[in-house]
Amino acid sequence: MRFNLNQERVDNLKEYVIKFLKRDLKYSEFWALKDINFEIKKGQRLGVLGLNGSGKSTLLKVVSGVLKPSAGSITTRGVIAPLLELGAGFSPEYTGRENIYLYGSVLGYTKEFLDEKFDEIVDFSELGEFIEVPIKNYSSGMKSRLGFSIATIVEPDILILDEVLSVGDKKFRTKSEKKIMSMFDNGVTVLFVSHSLEQVKRLCDRAIILDSGRLVASGPVDKVARIYKNMTE
C-alpha cells in the first residue's frame, strides 16, 4: 500500500488545481505496507501486533476493502464484518434510533433486518431512553457502544477488529469481549488488532508482527507474543 505525500504546502484549492494542471506538484512515496504475504484459514483467529505507525490499521482497511492495494492482490471468501472506526457513519443531528438505520445501511443491513434487530441493538448498547436523543449529545463512550452494538448484530464469516474491544467502561469492555467470543464459537475467521498483548494471546491462536509496514514474524500466538515482548522491552 503506497501513499503519495505532498512535499510542499498548498494553501487553497485554486492553488492546488493550478499546480496539478501544470504538473508542478511534488510528491514523495511512502509505503505503508510492503511485501506482506500471509494466509488465514477458515476459523483461525489472527492477531496483528506492531508499534504505532507499523501499518496495522492500514492492513485491516486493505483486507476489508476500504483501501485498494497499490500492488498485489487480496482474496477473501465469505461475508466480512469490518469493525474499524465505530460510529464513523453517524450523523450528529440524528437521534440514536435514526442512526441505527443510517449506520446499519452503511454496513449493508436492510431496513427489515434492522427492524427485527432494533430492540436487541438498543438493549446491548445500554442506552435506554437516550436512543431518542441526538448523537451530538452523546459521550464518546455512548457512541462507541452504539456503534459496536450495530456492527456486531450480524453473523459474518470474517470478522475484522481494530481496537474495538477497548470501547466504553470496564463493564462494557468485558461484555463486548464476551460477545466477540460467542461469535468465535460459531467458527468465524478473525483478523484482530490490539495494543494489548494479553488480549491477543487470550483471543487469537496465531499472530503476525508488522514493523514499518513489513511482516517480520508469523506463527503460533505464544511464539510471536514472545518475539513482540522482546521487541518492546
Contact, 135 vs 95, CB < 8 A?
yes
Q: Which run of H or E residues covers position 100? A: helix 96-106
Residue 184's φ and ψ, nearest 5 degrees, are -60, -40
- Is residue 183 a contact partner of residue 151, using CB atoms and an 8 Å limit? no
pLDDT digits (tens, 9 = 90+) for 104-148: 887 788 999 999 999 999 999 999 999 999 999 998 888 888 988
Query: pLDDT tens-digit profile of 173-227?
Result: 888 888 888 887 888 899 999 888 988 998 899 999 999 999 999 999 999 999 9
Predicted confidence at residue 18, as pLDDT, reads: 58
CATH fold of 39-79+156-233: Rossmann fold (3.40.50)
Q: How far apart are CA 227 and CA 79, in angstroms?
A: 32
Q: What band does 2 get if pLDDT is binned at 50, 70 and 90?
A: confident
The grid cell for 80 is 466480512
CB 92 within 8 A of CB 108: no
Buried b / exposed e along 1-34 (16+ C-beta atoms within 10 A): beeeeeeeeeeeeeeeeeeeeeeeeeeeeeebbe
70 contact partners, CB below 8 Å, separation of at least 6: 1, 2
> Residue 153: which pLDDT band, with cuts at 50, 70 and 90?
confident
Whole-angstrom Cα distance, residue 138 to residue 131?
10
pLDDT of 94 reads 96
**Is 70 exceeded by the pLDDT of residue 51?**
yes
Buried b (16+ CB within 10 A) or exposed e, 68-97: eeeeeeeeeeeebbbbbebbeebeeebebe
3-state secondary structure at position 88: coil
